[in-house]
Amino acid sequence: MPRPVPQLFARLYMMKRLGSLFMGAGLVVGIALGVGVIAGINVGGVPLLVAIGLGKLTFAAALGMMGAGAVLRRLALRRDQREPMSLPRPNAETKPTAPG
């Protein structure tokens, strides 16, 4: 019988996977755009300026996906490594002093 996975661990795992997926998709889109530009692939019936604008938008979308993936992975890793903050306990020997 499999052990139950804590919900926080499952959420962090999902964030890591989603971040990797976004970074991979951005990489694939960027590579496809680069290959298309180098190979000289043209979209038929579209003016040159519109094709250049679409290329720039595609490049921006690829960068955005890679950035979003990096942010998701960093948040998941940061939350995974963060330790709960503990407040110092007052010592019985020291007495609190009044301000002023």
Instruction: Please give the residue that has the higher pLDDT: either 98 or 73.
Output: 73
Q: Which helix (H) or strand (E) holds 76?
A: helix 48-81
The answer to whether the beta carbons of residues 19 and 71 sit under 8 Å apart is: yes
Question: Does the pLDDT at position 98 exceed 70?
Answer: no
pTM over 0.85, yes/no: no
The answer to whether the beta carbons of residues 55 and 37 sit under 8 Å apart is: yes
Separation of alpha carbons 62 and 24, rounded Å: 10
Neighbours of 69 (CB within 10 A): 21
pLDDT tens digits for range 43-68: 788 898 998 899 999 999 999 999 99
